Protein backbone atom coordinates (compact mmCIF):
# COMPACT_ATOMS: atom_id res chain seq x y z
CA UNK A 1 0.00 0.00 0.00
CA UNK A 2 1.21 3.50 -0.73
CA UNK A 3 2.25 5.83 2.09
CA UNK A 4 0.12 8.90 2.53
CA UNK A 5 2.60 10.91 4.58
CA UNK A 6 4.04 13.82 2.63
CA UNK A 7 7.44 15.26 3.35
CA UNK A 8 8.65 17.62 0.66
CA UNK A 9 6.82 20.61 -0.75
CA UNK A 10 8.36 22.31 -3.75
CA UNK A 11 6.98 25.60 -4.96
CA UNK A 12 7.66 25.46 -8.66
CA UNK A 13 5.77 27.86 -10.86
CA UNK A 14 4.92 26.49 -14.30
CA UNK A 15 2.47 28.83 -15.82
CA UNK A 16 4.64 31.77 -16.79
CA UNK A 17 2.87 31.95 -20.13
CA UNK A 18 -0.48 33.62 -20.64
CA UNK A 19 -2.25 30.25 -20.68
CA UNK A 20 -3.36 29.71 -17.09
CA UNK A 21 -5.21 26.87 -15.41
CA UNK A 22 -8.89 27.69 -15.04
CA UNK A 23 -9.52 25.34 -12.12
CA UNK A 24 -11.67 22.26 -11.57
CA UNK A 25 -15.12 23.69 -10.86
CA UNK A 26 -16.86 20.41 -10.00
CA UNK A 27 -17.26 19.05 -6.48
CA UNK A 28 -16.61 15.54 -7.76
CA UNK A 29 -13.50 13.47 -8.31
CA UNK A 30 -11.81 11.90 -11.33
CA UNK A 31 -9.95 8.59 -11.38
CA UNK A 32 -8.05 8.56 -14.69
CA UNK A 33 -6.56 5.09 -15.28
CA UNK A 34 -3.85 4.49 -17.88
CA UNK A 35 -5.23 1.09 -18.90
CA UNK A 36 -4.36 -2.56 -18.14
CA UNK A 37 -5.60 -2.15 -14.58
CA UNK A 38 -4.61 -5.16 -12.47
CA UNK A 39 -7.68 -6.70 -10.86
CA UNK A 40 -5.81 -6.66 -7.54
CA UNK A 41 -4.80 -2.99 -7.68
CA UNK A 42 -6.40 -2.21 -4.34
CA UNK A 43 -5.12 1.37 -4.20
CA UNK A 44 -6.99 2.41 -7.36
CA UNK A 45 -10.19 0.45 -6.75
CA UNK A 46 -10.42 1.59 -3.13
CA UNK A 47 -9.95 5.24 -4.11
CA UNK A 48 -12.72 5.02 -6.69
CA UNK A 49 -15.08 3.41 -4.18
CA UNK A 50 -14.20 5.95 -1.50
CA UNK A 51 -14.89 8.90 -3.81
CA UNK A 52 -18.18 7.33 -4.85
CA UNK A 53 -19.49 7.31 -1.28
CA UNK A 54 -17.87 4.19 0.18
CA UNK A 55 -19.02 0.58 0.04
CA UNK A 56 -22.19 1.41 1.95
CA UNK A 57 -23.41 4.17 -0.38
CA UNK A 58 -21.78 3.92 -3.81
CA UNK A 59 -23.97 3.28 -6.84
CA UNK A 60 -21.94 2.51 -9.97
CA UNK A 61 -22.98 3.13 -13.59
CA UNK A 62 -20.78 1.34 -16.12
CA UNK A 63 -20.56 2.84 -19.63
CA UNK A 64 -19.34 0.18 -22.12
CA UNK A 65 -19.68 2.07 -25.43
CA UNK A 66 -15.99 1.96 -26.35
CA UNK A 67 -15.56 -1.81 -26.35
CA UNK A 68 -16.25 -4.38 -29.08
CA UNK A 69 -18.05 -6.52 -26.48
CA UNK A 70 -20.17 -4.03 -24.50
CA UNK A 71 -22.50 -6.49 -22.75
CA UNK A 72 -19.74 -8.93 -21.84
CA UNK A 73 -17.22 -6.27 -20.88
CA UNK A 74 -19.76 -4.41 -18.80
CA UNK A 75 -20.55 -7.56 -16.83
CA UNK A 76 -16.84 -8.14 -16.28
CA UNK A 77 -16.67 -4.87 -14.35
CA UNK A 78 -19.85 -5.70 -12.44
CA UNK A 79 -18.14 -8.83 -11.12
CA UNK A 80 -14.89 -6.92 -10.59
CA UNK A 81 -16.49 -4.29 -8.37
CA UNK A 82 -18.46 -6.98 -6.57
CA UNK A 83 -15.14 -8.56 -5.55
CA UNK A 84 -14.42 -5.32 -3.71
CA UNK A 85 -17.60 -5.58 -1.69
CA UNK A 86 -20.15 -3.67 -3.80
CA UNK A 87 -23.53 -5.48 -4.06
CA UNK A 88 -24.35 -6.24 -7.68
CA UNK A 89 -27.78 -4.63 -7.30
CA UNK A 90 -25.99 -1.29 -6.93
CA UNK A 91 -23.99 -1.74 -10.16
CA UNK A 92 -25.65 -1.18 -13.55
CA UNK A 93 -24.34 -1.55 -17.10
CA UNK A 94 -25.93 1.25 -19.11
CA UNK A 95 -26.89 0.08 -22.63
CA UNK A 96 -24.67 2.26 -24.80
CA UNK A 97 -22.77 0.89 -27.79
CA UNK A 98 -21.98 1.52 -31.44
CA UNK A 99 -22.08 -1.95 -33.02
CA UNK A 100 -23.53 -5.36 -32.31
CA UNK A 101 -21.37 -7.98 -30.65
CA UNK A 102 -22.15 -11.13 -32.70
CA UNK A 103 -21.05 -13.38 -29.84
CA UNK A 104 -24.10 -12.35 -27.77
CA UNK A 105 -26.90 -14.11 -29.60
CA UNK A 106 -29.68 -12.81 -27.35
CA UNK A 107 -28.66 -9.12 -27.45
CA UNK A 108 -28.33 -6.75 -30.41
CA UNK A 109 -26.05 -4.04 -29.02
CA UNK A 110 -26.37 -1.97 -32.20
CA UNK A 111 -29.81 -0.96 -30.90
CA UNK A 112 -28.03 0.83 -28.06
CA UNK A 113 -26.37 3.33 -30.42
CA UNK A 114 -28.96 6.11 -29.89
CA UNK A 115 -29.28 5.70 -26.13
CA UNK A 116 -27.21 8.78 -25.47
CA UNK A 117 -30.40 10.67 -26.36
CA UNK A 118 -32.66 8.49 -24.18
CA UNK A 119 -34.16 10.79 -21.54
CA UNK A 120 -35.31 7.90 -19.35
CA UNK A 121 -31.73 6.59 -19.14
CA UNK A 122 -30.53 10.12 -18.43
CA UNK A 123 -32.97 10.42 -15.54
CA UNK A 124 -31.87 7.01 -14.23
CA UNK A 125 -28.22 8.11 -14.39
CA UNK A 126 -28.91 10.88 -11.88
CA UNK A 127 -29.46 8.22 -9.20
CA UNK A 128 -25.81 7.10 -9.33
CA UNK A 129 -22.77 8.35 -7.44
CA UNK A 130 -20.04 6.84 -9.62
CA UNK A 131 -19.59 6.38 -13.38
CA UNK A 132 -17.01 4.06 -14.93
CA UNK A 133 -16.02 4.31 -18.62
CA UNK A 134 -14.46 1.09 -19.95
CA UNK A 135 -11.61 0.82 -22.43
CA UNK A 136 -11.68 0.29 -26.18
CA UNK A 137 -12.03 2.94 -28.90
CA UNK A 138 -12.51 6.42 -27.46
CA UNK A 139 -14.04 7.70 -30.70
CA UNK A 140 -17.11 5.62 -29.81
CA UNK A 141 -17.72 7.75 -26.72
CA UNK A 142 -17.59 10.78 -28.96
CA UNK A 143 -20.09 9.13 -31.31
CA UNK A 144 -22.62 8.07 -28.65
CA UNK A 145 -22.52 10.92 -26.12
CA UNK A 146 -22.01 14.10 -28.21
CA UNK A 147 -24.04 15.35 -31.18
CA UNK A 148 -22.70 16.43 -34.57
CA UNK A 149 -22.30 20.04 -33.41
CA UNK A 150 -20.26 19.01 -30.38
CA UNK A 151 -23.04 19.40 -27.79
CA UNK A 152 -23.80 17.03 -24.93
CA UNK A 153 -26.57 14.51 -25.44
CA UNK A 154 -28.94 14.00 -22.47
CA UNK A 155 -27.07 11.03 -21.00
CA UNK A 156 -23.77 12.93 -20.95
CA UNK A 157 -25.51 15.96 -19.45
CA UNK A 158 -26.76 13.71 -16.65
CA UNK A 159 -23.26 12.31 -16.11
CA UNK A 160 -21.98 15.85 -15.72
CA UNK A 161 -24.65 16.44 -13.07
CA UNK A 162 -23.46 13.38 -11.15
CA UNK A 163 -19.93 14.78 -11.24
CA UNK A 164 -20.90 18.34 -10.37
CA UNK A 165 -22.85 17.16 -7.32
CA UNK A 166 -19.82 15.37 -5.90
CA UNK A 167 -19.81 12.00 -7.65
CA UNK A 168 -16.75 10.29 -9.10
CA UNK A 169 -16.01 9.60 -12.76
CA UNK A 170 -13.43 6.99 -13.70
CA UNK A 171 -12.15 5.70 -17.00
CA UNK A 172 -9.53 3.23 -18.10
CA UNK A 173 -7.57 3.38 -21.37
CA UNK A 174 -10.08 4.89 -23.84
CA UNK A 175 -12.10 5.91 -20.80
CA UNK A 176 -9.10 7.93 -19.66
CA UNK A 177 -8.50 9.58 -23.05
CA UNK A 178 -12.00 11.10 -23.06
CA UNK A 179 -11.36 12.98 -19.81
CA UNK A 180 -9.62 15.90 -21.53
CA UNK A 181 -10.59 18.12 -24.47
CA UNK A 182 -9.29 17.69 -27.07
CA UNK A 183 -8.51 14.00 -26.88
CA UNK A 184 -6.39 11.56 -28.85
CA UNK A 185 -8.09 9.28 -31.33
CA UNK A 186 -5.02 7.58 -32.79
CA UNK A 187 -1.42 8.14 -33.85
CA UNK A 188 1.96 6.43 -33.98
CA UNK A 189 4.25 8.34 -31.57
CA UNK A 190 7.37 8.04 -33.75
CA UNK A 191 5.57 9.39 -36.81
CA UNK A 192 3.44 11.97 -35.00
CA UNK A 193 6.34 13.90 -33.51
CA UNK A 194 7.64 14.47 -37.06
CA UNK A 195 4.25 14.87 -38.76
CA UNK A 196 2.21 16.95 -36.30
CA UNK A 197 -1.53 16.71 -35.63
CA UNK A 198 -4.88 16.76 -37.38
CA UNK A 199 -8.13 17.70 -35.59
CA UNK A 200 -11.60 16.51 -36.59
CA UNK A 201 -14.74 17.42 -34.66
CA UNK A 202 -16.33 14.24 -36.05
CA UNK A 203 -13.57 11.64 -36.53
CA UNK A 204 -14.27 9.53 -39.62
CA UNK A 205 -12.50 7.47 -42.22
CA UNK A 206 -9.11 5.81 -41.91
CA UNK A 207 -6.60 7.23 -39.46
CA UNK A 208 -4.48 10.04 -40.95
CA UNK A 209 -1.01 8.81 -41.84
CA UNK A 210 2.00 10.00 -39.86
CA UNK A 211 0.03 12.38 -37.61
CA UNK A 212 -1.57 12.48 -34.18
CA UNK A 213 -5.33 12.32 -34.73
CA UNK A 214 -7.39 14.49 -32.36
CA UNK A 215 -11.06 15.11 -31.74
CA UNK A 216 -13.36 16.66 -29.17
CA UNK A 217 -13.12 14.98 -25.78
CA UNK A 218 -15.61 15.07 -22.92
CA UNK A 219 -13.47 17.60 -21.06
CA UNK A 220 -14.09 16.60 -17.43
CA UNK A 221 -10.42 17.26 -16.61
CA UNK A 222 -9.56 20.95 -17.03
CA UNK A 223 -5.90 20.83 -16.04
CA UNK A 224 -4.41 19.68 -19.33
CA UNK A 225 -4.32 16.83 -21.83
CA UNK A 226 -4.51 13.15 -20.89
CA UNK A 227 -2.80 10.25 -22.66
CA UNK A 228 -2.85 6.62 -21.52
CA UNK A 229 -0.78 3.40 -21.75
CA UNK A 230 1.80 6.13 -21.80
CA UNK A 231 5.17 4.83 -20.68
CA UNK A 232 4.67 1.20 -21.68
CA UNK A 233 3.79 2.26 -25.24
CA UNK A 234 6.21 5.16 -25.61
CA UNK A 235 3.60 7.82 -26.32
CA UNK A 236 5.65 10.92 -25.52
CA UNK A 237 6.11 11.40 -29.27
CA UNK A 238 2.43 12.09 -29.81
CA UNK A 239 1.74 14.08 -26.65
CA UNK A 240 4.36 16.73 -27.46
CA UNK A 241 2.88 17.77 -30.86
CA UNK A 242 -0.61 17.71 -29.38
CA UNK A 243 0.44 20.08 -26.61
CA UNK A 244 2.12 22.39 -29.13
CA UNK A 245 -1.15 22.42 -31.08
CA UNK A 246 -3.17 23.15 -27.94
CA UNK A 247 -0.80 25.95 -26.96
CA UNK A 248 -1.36 27.56 -30.35
CA UNK A 249 -5.11 27.27 -29.76
CA UNK A 250 -4.61 28.89 -26.31
CA UNK A 251 -6.02 25.84 -24.54
CA UNK A 252 -3.39 23.82 -22.66
CA UNK A 253 0.35 23.66 -22.17
CA UNK A 254 0.42 20.76 -19.71
CA UNK A 255 -0.01 17.07 -20.46
CA UNK A 256 -0.33 14.03 -18.20
CA UNK A 257 0.88 10.70 -19.56
CA UNK A 258 -0.69 8.05 -17.31
CA UNK A 259 0.98 4.66 -17.42
CA UNK A 260 -0.65 1.24 -17.25
CA UNK A 261 -2.00 -0.06 -13.92
CA UNK A 262 -1.77 3.51 -12.64
CA UNK A 263 -4.30 6.26 -11.96
CA UNK A 264 -4.17 10.04 -11.82
CA UNK A 265 -6.77 11.04 -9.24
CA UNK A 266 -8.09 14.61 -9.40
CA UNK A 267 -9.91 16.22 -6.47
CA UNK A 268 -10.38 19.96 -6.65
CA UNK A 269 -7.12 21.48 -7.85
CA UNK A 270 -4.94 18.55 -6.75
CA UNK A 271 -3.88 15.52 -8.78
CA UNK A 272 -2.27 12.52 -7.08
CA UNK A 273 -0.74 9.31 -8.42
CA UNK A 274 -1.99 5.87 -7.38
CA UNK A 275 -0.92 2.44 -8.63
CA UNK A 276 2.14 0.48 -9.68
CA UNK A 277 3.86 2.74 -12.23
CA UNK A 278 3.82 6.51 -12.75
CA UNK A 279 2.68 9.63 -14.56
CA UNK A 280 4.90 11.75 -16.81
CA UNK A 281 3.95 15.42 -16.77
CA UNK A 282 4.91 17.30 -19.94
CA UNK A 283 5.04 21.12 -19.94
CA UNK A 284 5.47 23.08 -23.20
CA UNK A 285 4.78 26.57 -21.80
CA UNK A 286 8.32 27.73 -22.63
CA UNK A 287 9.12 25.30 -25.45
CA UNK A 288 10.42 26.82 -28.68
CA UNK A 289 9.66 25.02 -31.94
CA UNK A 290 11.07 25.61 -35.41
CA UNK A 291 9.98 23.83 -38.58
CA UNK A 292 12.59 22.11 -40.73
CA UNK A 293 12.21 20.21 -44.02
CA UNK A 294 12.25 16.95 -42.04
CA UNK A 295 10.03 17.88 -39.12
CA UNK A 296 10.01 20.16 -36.08
CA UNK A 297 12.98 21.01 -33.91
CA UNK A 298 12.05 21.76 -30.32
CA UNK A 299 13.87 22.96 -27.22
CA UNK A 300 13.02 23.12 -23.52
CA UNK A 301 10.14 20.71 -23.04
CA UNK A 302 9.99 20.28 -19.25
CA UNK A 303 9.31 16.81 -17.84
CA UNK A 304 8.32 15.66 -14.35
CA UNK A 305 7.97 12.00 -13.42
CA UNK A 306 5.71 11.16 -10.46
CA UNK A 307 4.87 7.88 -8.74
CA UNK A 308 2.40 6.66 -6.11
CA UNK A 309 1.85 9.17 -3.31
CA UNK A 310 3.19 12.16 -5.28
CA UNK A 311 0.80 15.02 -5.98
CA UNK A 312 0.65 18.32 -7.84
CA UNK A 313 -1.51 21.39 -7.33
CA UNK A 314 -2.85 22.54 -10.69
CA UNK A 315 -3.49 26.07 -9.44
CA UNK A 316 -0.32 26.87 -7.49
CA UNK A 317 2.23 24.70 -9.33
CA UNK A 318 3.37 23.01 -6.09
CA UNK A 319 4.58 19.41 -5.93
CA UNK A 320 4.42 17.14 -2.93
CA UNK A 321 6.69 14.09 -3.05
CA UNK A 322 5.87 10.98 -1.03
CA UNK A 323 7.90 10.75 2.19
CA UNK A 324 9.21 7.32 1.15
CA UNK A 325 11.40 8.99 -1.48
CA UNK A 326 14.28 11.22 -0.39
CA UNK A 327 16.10 13.82 -2.50
CA UNK A 328 19.10 12.46 -4.40
CA UNK A 329 22.04 14.62 -3.41
CA UNK A 330 23.85 16.21 -6.34
CA UNK A 331 27.20 14.56 -6.92
CA UNK A 332 26.11 11.40 -5.11
CA UNK A 333 23.91 9.91 -7.81
CA UNK A 334 24.17 6.12 -7.94
CA UNK A 335 24.77 5.63 -11.69
CA UNK A 336 27.69 6.98 -13.71
CA UNK A 337 26.63 6.52 -17.34
CA UNK A 338 23.73 5.50 -19.56
CA UNK A 339 24.06 4.12 -23.07
CA UNK A 340 22.37 5.70 -26.09
CA UNK A 341 18.80 4.40 -26.26
CA UNK A 342 18.01 3.58 -29.90
CA UNK A 343 14.31 3.04 -29.20
CA UNK A 344 13.52 5.96 -26.92
CA UNK A 345 9.80 5.73 -27.77
CA UNK A 346 9.73 2.04 -26.91
CA UNK A 347 8.26 0.56 -23.74
CA UNK A 348 9.44 2.25 -20.52
CA UNK A 349 12.45 3.88 -22.22
CA UNK A 350 11.51 7.46 -21.31
CA UNK A 351 10.85 6.45 -17.70
CA UNK A 352 14.25 4.76 -17.45
CA UNK A 353 16.21 7.57 -19.06
CA UNK A 354 14.58 10.29 -16.91
CA UNK A 355 15.15 8.39 -13.65
CA UNK A 356 18.10 5.97 -13.85
CA UNK A 357 19.71 7.71 -16.83
CA UNK A 358 19.54 11.25 -15.46
CA UNK A 359 17.95 12.00 -12.08
CA UNK A 360 20.01 9.28 -10.35
CA UNK A 361 23.02 9.57 -12.65
CA UNK A 362 26.19 11.61 -12.43
CA UNK A 363 25.98 12.59 -16.09
CA UNK A 364 24.25 15.83 -17.04
CA UNK A 365 22.53 14.57 -20.19
CA UNK A 366 21.21 11.37 -21.72
CA UNK A 367 20.16 10.74 -25.30
CA UNK A 368 17.82 8.55 -27.25
CA UNK A 369 16.45 8.24 -30.74
CA UNK A 370 13.60 6.54 -32.53
CA UNK A 371 12.77 6.13 -36.21
CA UNK A 372 10.57 4.36 -38.76
CA UNK A 373 12.20 2.67 -41.75
CA UNK A 374 10.71 2.35 -45.22
CA UNK A 375 11.23 -0.77 -47.33
CA UNK A 376 14.34 0.69 -48.95
CA UNK A 377 16.08 1.02 -45.60
CA UNK A 378 15.69 4.80 -45.30
CA UNK A 379 13.51 6.68 -42.93
CA UNK A 380 12.82 9.65 -40.69
CA UNK A 381 13.00 9.78 -36.94
CA UNK A 382 13.64 11.98 -33.94
CA UNK A 383 16.58 12.34 -31.60
CA UNK A 384 15.86 13.38 -28.02
CA UNK A 385 18.33 14.94 -25.58
CA UNK A 386 17.37 14.91 -21.90
CA UNK A 387 19.26 17.38 -19.71
CA UNK A 388 19.52 18.35 -16.09
CA UNK A 389 18.75 21.97 -15.29
CA UNK A 390 19.57 24.01 -12.19
CA UNK A 391 16.13 23.02 -10.91
CA UNK A 392 16.34 19.29 -11.60
CA UNK A 393 15.71 17.21 -8.48
CA UNK A 394 15.57 13.42 -8.26
CA UNK A 395 14.06 11.34 -5.45
CA UNK A 396 14.44 7.66 -4.68
CA UNK A 397 13.37 5.22 -2.00
CA UNK A 398 11.11 2.34 -1.10
CA UNK A 399 7.37 2.93 -1.00
CA UNK A 400 5.49 -0.16 0.08
CA UNK A 401 7.56 -3.06 -1.23
CA UNK A 402 9.00 -1.31 -4.30
CA UNK A 403 12.03 0.80 -5.11
CA UNK A 404 10.65 3.97 -6.67
CA UNK A 405 11.71 7.26 -8.27
CA UNK A 406 10.38 10.74 -8.79
CA UNK A 407 12.08 13.38 -10.95
CA UNK A 408 11.29 17.07 -11.40
CA UNK A 409 12.39 19.63 -13.97
CA UNK A 410 14.16 17.57 -16.60
CA UNK A 411 14.61 19.46 -19.88
CA UNK A 412 14.08 17.81 -23.26
CA UNK A 413 15.24 18.95 -26.69
CA UNK A 414 14.31 17.09 -29.87
CA UNK A 415 15.23 17.34 -33.53
CA UNK A 416 14.54 15.28 -36.68
CA UNK A 417 17.04 12.81 -38.08
CA UNK A 418 17.29 10.88 -41.34
CA UNK A 419 18.25 7.24 -41.21
CA UNK A 420 19.73 4.89 -43.79
CA UNK A 421 20.45 1.26 -43.03
CA UNK A 422 22.80 -0.71 -45.31
CA UNK A 423 24.14 -4.24 -45.01
CA UNK A 424 27.76 -4.32 -43.87
CA UNK A 425 28.50 -7.04 -46.42
CA UNK A 426 27.27 -7.48 -49.99
13 and 133 part of one domain: yes
50 and 127 part of one domain: yes
99 and 243 part of one domain: yes
| pLDDT single digits (tens) 368-379 | 999 999 999 999
The answer to whether position 358 is within a domain reads: yes
User: Is the per-residue pLDDT at 14 higher than 80?
Assistant: no
Boundary of a domain, candidates 280, 295, 322: 322
Q: Sorting pLDDT into bands at 50, 70 and 90, what band is 9?
A: very low
The answer to whether position 122 is within a domain reads: yes
The answer to whether position 399 is within a domain reads: no
The answer to whether position 281 is within a domain reads: yes
Boundary of a domain, candidates 322, 344, 377: 322
* Cβ–Cβ under 8 Å, residues 393 and 407: yes
216 and 269 part of one domain: yes
Collapse the DSSP code of 418 into the 3-class scheme (helix H, G, I; strand E, B; otherwise coil) and give the result.
Answer: strand
Collapse the DSSP code of 119 into the 3-class scheme (helix H, G, I; strand E, B; otherwise coil) and give the result.
Answer: helix
* Cβ–Cβ under 8 Å, residues 134 and 95: no
| pLDDT single digits (tens) 162-177 | 999 999 999 999 999 9
Q: State how many domains the chain has.
A: 2
User: Is the per-residue pLDDT at 412 higher than 90?
Assistant: yes
Which residues form the domain of 380?
336-394+407-420
137 and 202 part of one domain: yes
Q: Sorting pLDDT into bands at 50, 70 and 90, what band is 356?
A: very high
Q: Which residues lie across from 133 on neighbouring strands?
A: 63, 171
Q: Identify the pLDDT of residue 205.
A: 87
298 and 209 part of one domain: yes
Q: Identify the pLDDT of residue 23.
A: 59
The answer to whether position 328 is within a domain reads: no
Dist. CA 228–CA 261, nearest whole Å: 10
Geometric angle at alpha carbon 153, from 149 and 154, rounded to 5°:
155
291 and 360 part of one domain: no
Q: Identify the pLDDT of residue 425.
A: 86
372 and 250 part of one domain: no
| pLDDT single digits (tens) 210-249 | 999 999 999 999 999 999 999 999 999 999 999 999 999 9
The number of angstroms, rounded, from the C-alpha of 11 to the middle of its chain's C-alpha atoms is 24
352 and 314 part of one domain: no
CATH assignment of the domain containing 133: 3.40.50.880
234 and 367 part of one domain: no
122 and 226 part of one domain: yes
The answer to whether position 425 is within a domain reads: no
| pLDDT single digits (tens) 147-164 | 999 999 999 999 999 999
Boundary of a domain, candidates 322, 354, 385: 322
222 and 358 part of one domain: no
Describe the chain by its helix, strand, coil percentages, rounded to 5: 20, 35, 45
The answer to whether position 310 is within a domain reads: yes
The answer to whether position 54 is within a domain reads: yes
Dist. CA 94–CA 284, nearest whole Å: 38
Amino acid sequence: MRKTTILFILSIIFFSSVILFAGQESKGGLVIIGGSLNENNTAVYDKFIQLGGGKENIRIAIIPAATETPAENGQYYVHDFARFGIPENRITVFPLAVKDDPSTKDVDESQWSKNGSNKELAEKMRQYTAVFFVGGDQARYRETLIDAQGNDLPLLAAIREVYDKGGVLAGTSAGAAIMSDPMFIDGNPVEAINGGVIYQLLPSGPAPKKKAWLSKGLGFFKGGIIDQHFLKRGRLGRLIPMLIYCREQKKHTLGFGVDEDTALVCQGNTVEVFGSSGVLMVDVAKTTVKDTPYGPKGENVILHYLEAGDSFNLETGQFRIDAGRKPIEKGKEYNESYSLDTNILGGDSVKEIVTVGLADNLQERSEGLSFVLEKDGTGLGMQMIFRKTKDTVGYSGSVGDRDTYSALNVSLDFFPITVQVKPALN
